[in-house]
Amino acid sequence: MTQKISNEPLPEGAQRIIGRDAMRLNIAIAYAIAQIVKTTLGPKGMDKMLVSDLGDIIITNDGATILEEMNVEHPTAKLMVEIAKTQDKEVGDGTTTSVVIAGNLLKAAGQLLDRGIHPTTIVRGFEMAEAKSHELLKEIAEKVSLDDEETLVKIASVSMGSKGIGSEEEKKSIAKLIVKAVQKVVQKKGNKLVVDLDLVKLEKKEGGEVKDTKLVEGVVIDKEVVHAGMPKRVENAKIALIDSPLEIEKTETDAKIEITSPDQLEAFLRKEEEMLKNMVEKIKKAGANVVFVQKGIDEMAQHYLAKAGILAVRRVKKSDMEKLSRATGARIASSLEDLSSSDLGEAGLVEERKVAGEAMVFVEKCKDPKSVTIFIRGGTEHVVNEVERAIKDSLGSVASALEDGYYVTGGGSTEMELSLKLREYAKTIGGREQLAVEAFAEALESIPTTLAENAGMDAIDTLVELRSKHGSKEGKFYGVDVINGKISNMKELGVLEPAKVKRQAIASATETSRLILRIDDIISAKGTSKNDNSPGGELD
């Protein structure tokens, strides 16, 4: 590639690529990123092994994880990583889809640039196509409600479908757990449903099998009971959550205490002991038989708690304390002075269990928990981590479907239908924008094409067959059945996805394409020597 380096007053060693060369370079890099992740799309997608500088290994086919761990250098590549991050934060799924669409949009834009069409015209055409796509998505989407468990389980299963985390049966059982978890934490605000996924705790421990993953209607704390003499199992637990330490706090100011006789020392120690005993008495008086403390518990206090038959756990994370509060209905007490029976929470069972050789405390059988835990198991650390990523994506999908209230069919059927309708729409537009809308329609077809390629099917034959199916009246649900290697009705197969995921993927891809197409100048400022104190930084 020729680089046009201007003679402008830039720092020595700086490079500048201008005009079409800059655009072509950016497009080539963005398309290369899309090519890297596209082989991971769909249930038959392949995994990537990512090895860090330190030799840490990640095996995944989650688009956001791959791009984040790839450690890309070029600024355009970083923009592509941003799409995946945005998609992941916003809807939790569809990261690979958004990157593949963005890469193909830019490739199509490159072909239009070669035909002499101005970037601004292409961008305007893309924006028109995006607006029309959102309009069409509303027409083809169907409603889903909180009670429609069957549809929600299908949405959760499809979201996990691309992750190699076990058999179809295992995926289905985990999908049911995910839907139950979301139903527990969902809140109604007016006519809208709101899902705070922070209330679904994911606790993982290698060992066992993926099918051992279970939903705990409460919270799992990765801590052990502080004292050997305490009960390890408490039924009908009355739970106190304490934010302050069960210790004698040392004064912050410099203080000097002179002890001149053994009697004084004994009195001093006895007083300290008495204070700790009083703390425990207050907890006992409130009626608690289980205590979770955010800070430390003195050894003497541990002894008194054990004597009183109270199960105690110390140094519990603030986030876990909040989840315990939501699950059990307990109020977090800032001091023991105002602890009363009304502050206590309830759980059917609190028990310390050994999991893979480590003690964990399970708070379960809560009456109406507003926070739950999915306890993830798997043969190795890599399997457990991939199951966690799959569950995160799936939780995001179910939450998006409920918050938005709509779903569409998957397997590339929605992209195919949008593509067909956009081509019809393009004919109604005058001017060169028409070509950009057609290019947008073609870029959307990259999703069914990629799914077919990843399943070992002939991509061209699949595309031709899909186009003819979508031309007919009942063809809008037809997509790529990657399991059986043919074209099928996705609605009948139960391949469903949230409409919000598709909408966000199209919006993110268009936004990034617009951003990259408007760049016509790349200035790479490189420092010339160690003595050069100019504030120049490396950009590429």
Coil, strand or helix at 522: strand
**Do 359 and 476 sit in the same domain of this protein?**
no
Q: Check whether 499 has a pLDDT greater than 50.
A: yes
Q: Tell me, what's the pLDDT at 441?
A: 92
251 annotated active-site: no
Helix axes 413-427 and 433-444, enclosed angle (nearest 10): 170
Task: CATH number of the domain at 373, please.
Answer: 3.30.260.10
Contact (CB, 8 A) for 195 and 94: no
**Do 269 and 384 sit in the same domain of this protein?**
no
| Inside any domain, residue 530 | no
Residue with tokens 């054990």: 306
Residues 6+ apart with CB under 8 A from 311: 225, 230, 231, 232, 234, 237, 289, 290, 291, 350, 352
Contact (CB, 8 A) for 417 and 139: no
| Inside any domain, residue 260 | yes
Top mean-pLDDT range of 70-79, 209-218, 263-272, 528-537: 209-218
95 annotated active-site: yes
Mean pLDDT of 309-325: 90
Using a 10 angstrom Cβ sphere, with 0-12 exposed, 13-18 middle and 19 or more buried, the burial of residue 124 is middle
The 10s digit of each residue's pLDDT in 337-346 is 878 888 898 8
Q: Tell me, what's the pLDDT at 535?
A: 43
Q: Check whether 538 has a pLDDT greater than 90.
A: no
**Do 249 and 159 sit in the same domain of this protein?**
no
How far apart CA 193 and CA 151 sit, in angstroms, is 17
More confident residue, 356 or 373: 373
**Do 488 and 467 sit in the same domain of this protein?**
yes
Mean pLDDT of 201-229: 87
Residue 299's pLDDT band (cuts 50, 70, 90): confident
Amino acid identity, position 398: V
Q: What is the pTM of this model?
A: 0.79
Q: Tell me, what's the pLDDT at 533?
A: 45
Residue with tokens 């049911």: 176
The 10s digit of each residue's pLDDT in 411-466 is 889 999 999 999 999 989 878 889 999 999 999 999 999 989 988 888 898 889 88
Q: Tell me, what's the pLDDT at 14?
A: 67
Q: Tell me, what's the pLDDT at 105?
A: 92
Mean pLDDT of 335-356: 87
**Do 230 and 345 sit in the same domain of this protein?**
yes
Mean pLDDT of 483-495: 86
Mean pLDDT of 315-338: 88
How far apart CA 160 and CA 165 sit, in angstroms, is 8
Question: Which of 40, 60, 62, 512 does the annotation list as catalytic?
Answer: 62
Q: Check whether 540 has a pLDDT greater than 50.
A: no
Q: Tell me, what's the pLDDT at 127?
A: 92
Mean pLDDT rounded to a whole number for the chain:
83
Percentage of the chain with pLDDT > 90? 13
Q: Tell me, what's the pLDDT at 521?
A: 67
- Tally of CB atoms within 10 A around 143: 11
**Do 42 and 129 sit in the same domain of this protein?**
yes
Angle among Cα 337, 238, 371 to the nearest 5 degrees reads: 100
Coil, strand or helix at 493: helix
Task: CATH number of the domain at 258, please.
Answer: 3.50.7.10
Question: Which of 40, 76, 86, 96 does the annotation list as catalytic?
Answer: 96
Q: Check whether 199 has a pLDDT greater than 50.
A: yes
The 10s digit of each residue's pLDDT in 237-249 is 899 999 888 877 6
Contact (CB, 8 A) for 356 and 242: no
Number of domains in the chain: 3
| Inside any domain, residue 384 | yes
198 annotated active-site: no
More confident residue, 99 or 271: 99
Range of the domain at 349: 219-367
How far apart CA 57 and CA 59 sit, in angstroms, is 7
Task: CATH number of the domain at 516, please.
Answer: 1.10.560.10
Question: Which of 40, 65, 86, 95 does the annotation list as catalytic?
Answer: 95
Lowest mean pLDDT among 18-22, 179-183, 212-216, 347-351: 18-22
96 annotated active-site: yes
Mean pLDDT of 502-512: 90
Residue 531's pLDDT band (cuts 50, 70, 90): very low
- Tally of CB atoms within 10 A around 253: 4
Question: Which of 88, 298, 393, 404 does the annotation list as catalytic?
Answer: 393
**Do 363 and 236 sit in the same domain of this protein?**
yes
Domain end (from 312, 338, 367): 367
